[in-house]
């Protein structure tokens, strides 16, 4: 669906500082049809620039972006007909009514005028905004405005949705609703390209993920594959009744144990062997006089993976 081929976006530093920003540095990626593709990275990593180049809002300094086989630079209007875009800020026409807003974009996307009224009503229903249909947008809550924004993005039923921080500024209830909405859109066959700082949400809805920093991709692939990376060892945490046992030092001398970190009442460590060896390790620990009160496996989350990749812990 989306193909970025060696895309670089470079521009000068703002505020008269000497140097150039490399927002994206020879970026190459493919997003197949039907994926929910999450792009993760710190502020300034180049995520929004990447999204804008996909939408044809910014021209790459070099490289090529295609959407559904259409070159976004050469055939912007045709390519844009295949995508819906939501920016990372709230920006609606407050003086329009909800149905007028959707009607405007339906016409702007050159839908068949005969189907526009029914499509507008369908999207209003889908976005759960029936009661606000004839109200001015200025009177909507933030969550409603965000839903309306997504409604605008899908009004022409594009196969691709490009969403930049769609959950930013939403309350927990609105975030849950948004997640459900995105899941249902994905189930309906949409390809979704999404950025977010709320990694737990991305982990829940994404099928593929890329971690971006300083304009470059550090990781890319299916969510489970990326999460599996560096998982040849398992991570555990052992808690002791506090009594002065130097657990981290003791663990460091055991076979199969690595990356030990002392904690307030115990330690965490990586373990390369299987369950039987783990059981033996615990037995040895108890025999050595440690008052073990808990042992737990630390499961990998996107948040942890991101911080490890980002800090260079996992290369």
Indicate the SS3 state at residue 143: helix
All residues at 6 or more sequence positions from 23 whose CB lies less than 8 Å from its CB, including other chains: 9, 10, 11, 46, 49, 50, 215
Cα angle 131-134-138, degrees, rounded to a multiple of 5: 95
Which candidate, 61, 135, 35, 50, places its Cα nearest to that of 88? 50
Does residue 74 bind other proteins (CB under 8 A)? no
Q: Kindly state the smallest distance separating residue 240's Cβ from other proteins, in Å.
A: 39
x/- track of binding to other proteins for residues 102-141 (CB under 8 A): --xx-xxxx-------------------------------
Write out the binding residues for other proteins, residues 212-231 only, by CB under 8 A: 213-215
Which candidate, 154, 127, 140, places its Cα nearest to that of 96? 140
**In this chain, which of 30, 64, 71, 76 binds other proteins, going by CB under 8 A?**
76
Alpha-carbon distance of 102 to 153, in angstroms, equals 9
61 φ, ψ (degrees, to nearest 5): -65, -40
Does residue 210 bind other proteins (CB under 8 A)? no
Alpha-carbon distance of 10 to 61, in angstroms, equals 6
Which candidate, 305, 309, 301, 300, places its Cα nearest to that of 214? 309
**In this chain, which of 5, 26, 30, 61 binds other proteins, going by CB under 8 A?**
61
**In this chain, which of 13, 246, 279, 291 binds other proteins, going by CB under 8 A?**
13
x/- track of binding to other proteins for residues 20-59 (CB under 8 A): xxxx-x---------------xxxxxx--x--x--xxxxx
Binding stretches for other proteins (CB under 8 A): 8, 10-16, 18-23, 25, 41-46, 49, 52, 55-59, 61-62, 76-78, 80-81, 83, 85, 87, 89, 91-93, 95-96, 100, 104-105, 107-110, 152, 213-215
């Amino acid at each position: 669906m989306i193909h970025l081929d060696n895309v670089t976006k470079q521009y000068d530093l703002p505020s008269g500082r000497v140097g150039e920003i490399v927002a994206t540095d020879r970026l190459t990626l493919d997003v197949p049809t039907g994926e929910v593709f999450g792009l993760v990275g710190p502020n300034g990593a180049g995520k929004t620039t990447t999204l804008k180049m996909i939408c044809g809002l910014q021209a790459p300094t070099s490289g090529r972006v295609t959407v559904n086989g259409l070159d976004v630079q050469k055939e912007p209007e045709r390519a844009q007909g295949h995508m819906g875009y939501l920016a990372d800020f709230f920006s609606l026409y407050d003086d329009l009514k909800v149905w007028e807003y959707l009607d405007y974009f339906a016409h702007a996307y050159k839908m068949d005028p005969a189907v526009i009224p029914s499509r507008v009503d369908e999207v209003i229903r889908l976005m759960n905004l029936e009661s606000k249909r004839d109200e001015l947008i200025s009177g909507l809550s933030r969550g409603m405005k965000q839903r309306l924004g997504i409604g605008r993005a899908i009004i022409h039923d594009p196969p691709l949705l490009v969403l930049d921080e769609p959950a930013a500024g939403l309350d927990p209830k609105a975030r849950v609703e948004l997640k459900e909405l995105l899941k249902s859109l994905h189930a309906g066959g949409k390809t979704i390209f999404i950025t977010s700082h709320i990694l737990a949400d991305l982990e829940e809805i994404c099928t593929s993920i890329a971690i971006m920093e300083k304009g470059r991709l550090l990781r890319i692939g299916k969510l489970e594959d990326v999460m599996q990376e560096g998982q040849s060892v398992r991570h555990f945490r052992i808690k002791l009744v506090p009594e002065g046992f130097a657990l981290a030092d003791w663990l460091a001398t055991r076979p199969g144990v690595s990356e030990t970190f002392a904690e307030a009442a115990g330690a965490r460590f990586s373990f390369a062997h299987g369950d039987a060896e783990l059981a033996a390790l615990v037995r040895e620990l108890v025999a050595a006089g440690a008052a073990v009160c808990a042992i737990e496996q630390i499961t990998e989350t996107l948040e942890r993976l991101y911080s490890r990749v980002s800090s260079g812990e996992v290369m």
